[in-house]
Amino acid sequence: MGRIEVIPLAGIPEVSEGDDLASLILDAVGRESLALADGDVVVVKHKIVSKAEGRVVSIDAVEPGRKARALAKKEGKDPRLVELMLRESVRVVRASHGVIITRTKQGLVCANSGIDQSNVGKGSVALLPVDPDRSARNLRRVLEKRTGRRLAVVVSDTFGRPWRLGQTDVAIGCSGMLPLLRYAGKKDRFGYRLRVTEPSVADEIAGAAELAIGKLNGMPAAVVRGVEYDRGEGGVKGMLMPPERDLFR
């Protein structure tokens, strides 16, 4: 593997339901005097995907139920937000110290069912895309058709981790690439045969893009170039830990 570049895409306007994300991204690519190349990975924050797909909700329109009110009181949360968390999840994994961890309908384990209040406007929240892998696939196909290049797309979001402080961006959807590199059976430079090593290249790409995009810069997308990955359609669903193997739930 040689040089890796991360190119943030500036100037993407506020996204609304029904907007053509591919056009907005390609316009931003053009402003960078850049042409997409075979193997490039386009990383997009889930927020603009959710906005384009109409996954923004007015919090005032939410009527919390009894379960949401009880949990909100216990954890010091807005009961309307807790109601949305419950609607967007299949179960509450843990609730303590003002934090509510759920398993979402997409299979992700995260805080607040991935519901985000930042960068959506006062009184509104963004829900996760219904199917982030499908969102990535649809965007990739349009970008490939318009550019004639073989690309990959990663939809990213910010997650905490149960064993470390702080957050990092991870892939919640991907297309055009397998999210894991399979090193099992290969030998390292000392001759040791690797057994279970599977670098999460999709997550690493999402984290690298976040270094260039940032949280407060108004840049919801980036192009990552020069990364080694295996082309395919595994999607992020294929890398989610099965509950029976999860030591933290």
pLDDT by 10s per residue, the chain, length 249:
579 999 999 999 999 999 999 999 999 999 999 999 999 999 999 999 999 999 999 999 999 999 999 999 999 999 999 999 999 999 999 999 889 999 999 999 999 999 988 777 788 999 999 999 999 999 999 999 999 999 999 999 999 888 888 999 999 999 999 998 765 555 556 665 555 567 889 999 999 999 998 776 778 999 999 999 999 987 998 888 887 877 766
Name the CATH code of domain 5-55+129-240 (choices 3.30.1330.200, 1.20.120.610, 3.40.50.150, 3.30.1330.100). 3.30.1330.100
* pLDDT at 133 (0 to 100): 97
Q: Which two tokens stand for residue 244?
A: 């029976």
CB 149 within 8 A of CB 142: no
Q: Which two tokens stand for residue 240?
A: 């989610």
**pTM of the predicted structure, to 2 decimals:** 0.91
Residues 6+ apart with CB under 8 A from 5: 223, 224, 225, 226
* pLDDT at 117 (0 to 100): 84
Give the distance, in angstroms, between the CA of residue 36 and the centroid of all CA atoms in the same chain. 21
Distance CA 173, CA 121 (A): 24
Provide the b/e sequence for 64-88 (b: ≥16 CB within 10 Å). Answer: beeebeebbeeeebebbbbbbbbeb
Residues counted in the chain: 249
* pLDDT at 38 (0 to 100): 97
* pLDDT at 7 (0 to 100): 95
Query: What are the residue boundaries of the structural domains of the chain, listed by start?
Result: 5-55+129-240, 57-125
Residues 6+ apart with CB under 8 A from 193: 185, 186, 187
- CATH superfamily to which 57-125 belongs: CofE-like domain (3.90.1660.10)
